[in-house]
Chains A and B, each alone.
Chain A
Amino acid sequence: MDAGMDADMDDGLATYNFAYLDEQTKRMIRRAILKGIAIPGYQVPFASREMPMPYGWGTGGVQVTASILGPDDTLKVIDQGADDTTNAVSIRAFFAKVADVATTTETAKATVIQTRHRIPEERLTEGQILVYQVPIPEPLRYLEPRETETRKMHALAEYGLMHVKLYEDIARNGHIATTYAYPVKVEGRYVMDPSPTPKFDNPKMHMSDALQLFGAGREKRIYAIPPHTDVVSLDFEDYPFEIQHFEEPCALCAAQGVYLDEVILDDRGGRMFVCSDTDYCEKRRAEGHRGHLAGDTLEAAE
């Protein structure tokens, strides 16, 4: 975890510390992380720094990763489940440059995985850390815009408003109309925003063997789910929580029960569904699994 060595970035004006942040800032962030782990699901305010990428690009996740990264770590970065989306590429390149750490696209080989909008399909294991980029950490924000009010509501565990919202969804639409950033209750206490992952991923947070850390840079909040923690998606007895189901398997690797991306193939309504988790899909194809479009149409999708 600790490394005080200097990583010179430029031969000119500016030199930066290992993993960009100075050690004092890392200490401050680690304290916030430890507090977050001690109170699962509680949003810990922290003195978020300006980062060299814009707010909204994952500055919270980047600060958390920068604070926990050591020289021996192996980093994986995904966005929308994919290692090769532009922002994932950019963040991975940032850490390869300022921390000189090994990077990987293989979920199992990574010690730290920074993610935006997805949880990998492969079950995470003990010792791994999943770092989420969070835009709006407050699950109650769209119900109550004031921070002073929402903090009070958390303090009193006053979550009736959220249940009313979910109930109104059902009354109006016949469904709970929240498909991503679906609120969860952590360890029976705090209602937490899982970041805008599709609700498909919510069950993976429950009793995970890995440590899950959440960083919101612009909103200056860190929160955590320690390993083996109870994470329950909010629901009603007669309207139990359900995840999305896809009717067809992945067109490339034939995987079922995974989250799929819809790829439009032409302007005549042609489309295919492929794994959102690119590493998972590649691994399955390497193992010999073939979907109905694997092979020739693969290039068309790219």
Chain B
Amino acid sequence: MYVAVKGGEAAIRNAHRLLADRRRGDRSLPSLTLAQIAEQLSLACDRVMAEGSVYDRELAALAIKQARGDLIEAIFLLRAYRTTLPRFGYSVPIDTAAMHVERRVSATYKDLPGGQMLGPTFDYTHRLLDPSLGRDGDVEEPEIREGDDAKVMRVSDTLAQEGLIEDDGDVPGEEIGDITRTPMEFPMERDTRLQALARGDEGFLLALGYSTQRGYARTHPFVGEIRIGEVEVKLDVPELGFAVTLGRIQVTECQMVTQFAGSAKAPPQFTRGYGLVFGQSERKAMAMSLCDRALRASELGEDIVAPAQDQEFVISHSDNVQATGFVEHLKLPHYVDFLAELDLVRRMRGEHAARRDLQESMPEAAE
């Protein structure tokens, strides 16, 4: 028995020891270094940073190592660390128009100012397992071309010049909300919804975004633009009177352009769905932008007919740390409540049998 046992402490200690052993695996093999994880499993680190809401590659690598590669567990480790960090300010909004772009593609134009840049993408690889990776072969150096310093114009700005696409919209309320410091309350505004989506589970948002494409709240989406690259993070320092650059982070931004026939509230025009994620995570950014757009249904006067449009449904269930905790807590002992149910079922079965016996013993009366 794993409960009601004396010696729970020893059991826990031994379980942790065994876990550490299994995490390390065969001691004759070299242990992974954090740099190896950060460099060679970089997209795993990106996902952990994004959903863990901490931009720190080394800590993400540490979390992945500690979690034995279980990314949700790694995300949880990072979150639990993040929550203890002091908050000394909020950065100035990052300017993705000034991004040092490594990849930038648009599906709505054949060519556009700034060009299409594929960057490091899996998109046109043939998914054939490459046995040469099993050996330590040499890898060619990439060809890098430094672009000019000109800003790469956003596709949405092109459409905005003609008034064909809605404005970016204003921040609702006085200042931007913070879902980690104030309790979420429904209905949520778009700023806090986007925050929740940005740390939401990639798989969950992917499935919801997919559902909108299959007709559960269809939005006719086009990828206006996806861009991946580095942006500066700046902080306003009141004593200095200007913003100081803290460093650079890599982000993935997706602007989804969606159709909108117009309503009593707004004229026909294209609308936006927005996705922004730490690191290189195109799937997440695209899914996020589909969900963001679907969640704007009531703002745009659309009928709410599908799960992806229902913010209580989407936001309440998008956090994988919460979801995994509550699902997995079912393995904790519940025997006190189970006994209460057992007692009730036994009693009701007894009554049921008694009723049946009574009916069988009085056949005439029953007829």
CB distance from A273 to the nearest CB of B (A): 9
Task: Select A84's contact among B8, B328, B334, beta carbons within 8 Å.
Answer: B8
Docked pose: A290 CA to B182 CA in angstroms: 53
For A47, list chain B residues within 8 Å (CB). 180-183
User: Which residues 1-36 of B sit at the A interface, judged by CB distance below 8 A?
Assistant: 1-9, 11-12
Tell me, rounded to whole Å, the shortest Cβ–Cβ distance linking A130 to chain B. Answer: 16
Query: CB-CB < 8 A to B242: which residues of A?
Result: none
Could you tell me if B324 and A54 are in contact, using CB atoms closer than 8 angstroms?
Answer: yes
A249: interface (CB < 8 Å): no
* Interface residue? B336 (CB, 8 A): yes
Q: Mark A68-99, 1 if CB is under 8 A from B, else 0.
A: 00000000000111101111111001000000
Using known A-B contacts A146-B312, A175-B344, determine if residue A55 contacts B183 with beta carbons closer than 8 Å: no
Cα–Cα distance between A117 and B336 once the two chains are bound (Å): 7
Known A56-B328, A57-B325, A173-B348; judge A259-B12 contact (CB<8 A).
no
In the docked arrangement, what's the CA distance between A301 and B6, Å? 11
B322 within 8 A of A: yes
Contact yes or no, A117 B337, CB < 8 A: yes
Q: Dominant SS at the A interface?
A: loop
Find out whether the CB atom of A22 lies under 8 angstroms from the CB atom of B86.
yes
Interface size classification for chain A = 35 or more
Bound together, the chains give a CA A282 to CA B362 distance in angstroms of 52
- Judged by a CB distance under 8 angstroms, whether A174 is at the interface is yes
Q: Which residues of B contact A147 (CB under 8 A)?
A: 186, 312, 316
B199 to chain A, nearest CB (A): 11
A220 to B4 Cα, complex, angstroms: 30
Give the Cβ gap from B59 to chain A, nearest Cβ, in Å. Answer: 8
Q: Which of A151-210 contact B (CB under 8 A)?
A: 173-175, 177, 179-181, 196-200
- Contact A48:B183 (CB < 8 A) given known A90-B12, A180-B340, A261-B4: yes
* CB–CB B332/A57 < 8 A: yes
User: Do A56 and B4 have beta carbons less than 8 Å apart?
Assistant: no
Q: How distant is the Cα of A51 from the Cα of B77 in the complex, in angstroms?
A: 9
Q: If the complex has contacts A84-B4, A302-B5, A302-B6, are A57 and B329 also in contact, measured as CB distance less than 8 A?
A: yes
B83 within 8 A of A: yes
In the complex, are the beta carbons of A198 and B336 less than 8 A apart? yes
**In the complex, A111 has a CB within 8 A of chain B:** no
- Say whether B147 faces chain A, with CB atoms less than 8 Å apart: no
**What's the Cα separation between A54 and B328 when bound, in Å?**
9
The reply to whether the CB of A263 lies closer than 8 angstroms to some CB of chain B is: yes
Q: Judge if A233 is at the interface, Cβ distance under 8 Å.
A: no
Number of A-B contacts (CB under 8 A): 151
Question: Once the chains bind, are A220 and B184 in contact (CB under 8 Å)?
Answer: yes
B81 within 8 A of A: yes
CA distance A263 to B5 in the complex (A): 12
- CB of B344 within 8 A of CB of A22, answer no
Tell whether, in the assembled complex, residue B4 and residue A263 are in contact, meaning their CB atoms are under 8 Å apart.
yes
Give the Cβ gap from A187 to chain B, nearest Cβ, in Å.
24
Identity of the chain A residue whose Cβ is nearest the Cβ of B15 in the assembled complex = A86
B334 lies within 8 A of A135 (CB)? no
Complex Cα–Cα for A81 and B339 (A): 13
B157 within 8 A of A: no
Chain A contacts for B82, CB-based, 8 A: 50
B167 cross-chain contacts in A, Cβ below 8 A: none
Most buried by A among B7, B82, B337: B337
Q: Which residues of chain B in 122-169 are interfacial with respect to chain A, using CB atoms and an 8 Å cutoff? A: none
B321 near A: Cβ within 8 Å? yes
Given contacts A55-B325, A196-B337, contact A86 B183 (CB under 8 A): no
Chain B residues closer than 8 Å to A4, beta-carbon distance: none
Name 20 interchain pairs, CB-CB below 8 A, sorted by A: A22-B84, A50-B76, A50-B79, A50-B83, A51-B80, A54-B329, A84-B5, A84-B7, A86-B333, A147-B186, A148-B186, A175-B344, A177-B344, A179-B340, A180-B336, A197-B336, A218-B325, A244-B340, A301-B4, A302-B6
Residues of B within 8 A of A (CB): 1-9, 11-12, 76, 79-84, 86, 180-187, 312, 316, 321-322, 324-330, 332-337, 339-344, 347-348, 351
Given contacts A20-B84, A148-B312, A198-B339, 5 further A-B pairs with CB under 8 A are A56-B326, A174-B351, A261-B339, A302-B1, A302-B4
